[in-house]
Amino acid sequence: MGKVIEGKADARGLRIGIIVSRFNNFVTDKLLEGALEALRNHGGEEEDIDIVRVPGAFEIPLLAHKMAATGKYDALVCLGAVIRGDTPHFEYISDAVTRGIGHAILQFRVPISFGVLTTNTVEQAMERAGEKMGNKGFEAALTAIEMANLNKEIP
């Protein structure tokens, strides 16, 4: 068996950017709280974390792209909540956000974790923001920490 390389859950010294949507803020504020808790619990310092608030999930990829392009961040965390309604709007927004974030990852080779909920109901979103199914913001921040460390390990 060859060498196994794994990311560490250590945020000390990492520069993290968080992009969070204001739309559905009753969900996204909880995701942000979870992300900040994860960063603090794993050694992250307040002065190493930038939080950028955007109007909605659709605007997240633009800021992810711009922030990744600066070279200032070891990782980014994207947080939002897209909740299905009665029109196909849900599919368009979900697809655009996913593709946009993926494009920024590949173009700039900066880890960007996906903490954008895409749920059928408000109840499902609330469950994933800390009520029953854990906090996906917390999980997204942990992913960012691990991937930032892996990204440094493998140049």
Residues taking part in catalysis: 89
In sequence order, the 6+-apart residues with CB closer than 8 A to the CB of 103 are 61, 65
Q: If we measure between CA atoms, which residue out of 91, 106, 59 comes closest to residue 78?
A: 59
The whole-angstrom separation of Cα 133 and Cα 155 is 35
**Stated length of the chain:** 155
Q: If we measure between CA atoms, which residue out of 33, 105, 46 comes closest to residue 75?
A: 105
